Every structure is written in C-alpha cells, then in structure tokens.
Amino acid sequence: MVREYKTNLPGQEVIARAKKFFAERVPHYGAYLESEGASYATFRGQGGEEIAIAVVEGGPGTRVRASSPMYEQAIGRFFSTLPALGQDD
C-alpha cells in the first residue's frame, strides 16, 4: 500500500529524518538505508522487506509518499513526526 502525506518541510529534511527514524525508532524491526537520491530513499529491514520513500516539492509544501507491506505502522508513526502542511515546525 502507498501512503501519502503533505508537510511544510523541504524534501531533503524529510529524507534526513527518515534515515534517523527508521534506524533508531523502530525497535525489533529496524530498517537501514539501502540507497538514496535527491528525492528518494530506500531502506532494507527484517527479512529483506523494503521501505521506499519519495518526496516531491512544489506547490504548497512537500508531498511525501511511502510504501512497504510490513512497515505500514512504522510509516504511519514516521508521518506523525512530520509537521503537517500549514503547521509550524
């Protein structure tokens, strides 16, 4: 399933926060950076499961898209750490 969220953070900040969050804040199921670019990051976790995160800047805010079959709950928790579009940091 693909989940989407809009934030007022720049894309590079979202990617930086994702790298820290998935390595440190998902106990028992930590996922570690596998590859990254200017607008995406992929992580590999337990059993080879993948998390893919992409950011698209433009218009108001940054759109963040993430998907992973095993890490749905962790993705939701990650999104909850980001300020929503229209909120202060």
- Per-domain residue ranges for the chain? 2-80
> Which has the minimum average pLDDT: 31-35, 69-73, 80-84?
69-73
Question: Tell me, what's the pLDDT at 30?
Answer: 77
Burial class of residue 52, CB neighbours in 10 A (0-12, 13-18, 19+): middle
Residue 27 confidence (pLDDT): 66
pLDDT at 26 exceeding the cut of 80:
no
2-7 sheet: strands from edge to edge: 2-7, 62-67, 50-57, 40-44, 32-37
Which residues are within 8 A (CB) of 73 and not within 5 positions of it... i.e. 6 or more apart?
none
pLDDT of amino acid 89: 45
**What is the Cα–Cα distance from 3 to 54, expressed in whole angstroms?**
11
Task: Select the CATH number that applies to the domain covering 2-80 from these four: 3.40.50.11540, 3.30.310.80, 3.30.470.20, 3.30.930.10.
Answer: 3.30.310.80
Give this prediction's pTM: 0.88
The answer to whether 18 and 77 are in contact (CB under 8 A) is: no
